[in-house]
Amino acid sequence: MAERFLALDWGTTNLRAWVADAAGRPLERRDFALGVASLAPGEAAARFAEQVRPAMQAQALPVLMCGMIGSALGWQAVPYADCPAPYAALAGALCRVDVAGPPVWIVPGLRTSRADGCGPDVMRGEETQIFGWAMADPARQRGTHLVCHPGTHAKWARLVDNRIDAFVTAMTGELFALLRTHSALKVASAIPSDSAFAAGLAAAGDGGALASRLFTARSRVVGGTMPAQDVESYLSGLLIGAEVAATPALLGVAAGADIAVVGDPALCALYGRALAWHGHGASLFDGEAAVLAGLAAMFRQARAVR
């Protein structure tokens, strides 16, 4: 029985790969510019076999992957599991890909019905990070926890006794990227500014009337109260501030509740500032460590039953 495996977090824009042992300790790590959005239909399997496996010297290793690789854009569309989703049920629903050689599994994504009546919500990849965060400490597997995963499509999830009970998505990262490059708010140059970010947090208010508040990123410049170089930091604070002000309530989170932020450390730090601004306690955790822990835990279960 192989004690090492190839772990892949294969998303829309990037692929992170590790050779790890069954405990989740990384032995080798690489990034590949092979996000599923850049691949033609059917190309993922070929790139995996011809590029990823050889580069990781992992031709003989079993593989577990999560993320958008399990979508219609990726290798194979894997059905969503429904919330509430216990860890054991999700790990038991791994989809084995029909490919020659060592086994290859894909982690299913999750689907939920939003409590605000706006319809369904979905995630792929974040569920593995959330469960990886929980598996790192037995205390996180008991009781109720709120986990925020910032990113292009930020996820806010309620974890109850090691099951993802419900979640909501905020397109904050994508909206920021679009506004700073394809709108009247784009600027020729930007300099990071803590004070401009704080001003954006304040301007976000309760998160309402966001379309109106966004225009202040332009009116402050043309009105002479903010230099153009501060627009990006101000816009970041405004968007993150609006998300943090309004989103926790969609999951029934009380004011001042503690929230775990799991993801890119720099982005988590910005969310930590926003959460503190709104009176929440925030604990920050590295998302890369969490996703690897989640993949390792699911690999151990897959290895035990195959």
% of the chain at pLDDT higher than 90:
94
Between the CA of residue 275 and those of 83, 204, 240, 302, what are the distances in Å?
Answer: 26, 13, 9, 37
Instruction: Give bridge partners of residue 285 from the DSSP assignment.
Output: 262
Helix axis angle for 287-305 and 126-135, nearest 10°, is 90
The structure tokens 């930590």 sit at 272
* pLDDT tops 70 at residue 150: yes
Calculate mean pLDDT across residues 164-184.
96
Three-state DSSP at 227 gives coil
Give the model's pLDDT for residue 173.
96
Q: In the structure, what pLDDT confidence band is assigned to residue 225 with cuts at 50, 70 and 90? A: very high
Is the separation of the CB atoms in 110 and 135 below 8 Å? no
Q: How far apart are CA 106 and CA 96, in angstroms?
A: 6
Residues contacting residue 304 through CB under 8 Å, at least 6 positions apart: none
pTM of the model: 0.94
Q: In the structure, what pLDDT confidence band is assigned to residue 305 with cuts at 50, 70 and 90? A: low
| The two structure tokens encoding residue 5 | 């495996």
| The two structure tokens encoding residue 2 | 């192989």
Q: In the structure, what pLDDT confidence band is assigned to residue 125 with cuts at 50, 70 and 90? A: very high
Q: How far apart are CA 276 and CA 245, in angstroms?
A: 11
* pLDDT tops 90 at residue 254: no
Calculate mean pLDDT across residues 17-35.
96
Give the model's pLDDT for residue 18.
98
The structure tokens 């490059």 sit at 181
Calculate mean pLDDT across residues 225-244.
97
Q: List strand residue ranges (DSSP E) for the chain, in order.
A: 4-10, 15-21, 26-32, 63-66, 81-82, 85-86, 95-96, 104-106, 110-113, 120-123, 144-149, 154-160, 163-170, 258-263, 281-286
Give the model's pLDDT for residue 1.
41
Query: pLDDT (tens digit, 9 = 90+) per residue, 260-299?
Result: 999 999 999 999 999 999 999 999 999 999 999 999 999 9
* pLDDT tops 50 at residue 210: yes
Q: What is the mean pLDDT of the chain?
A: 95
N- to C-terminal Cα distance for the chain? Answer: 10
Give the model's pLDDT for residue 72.
93
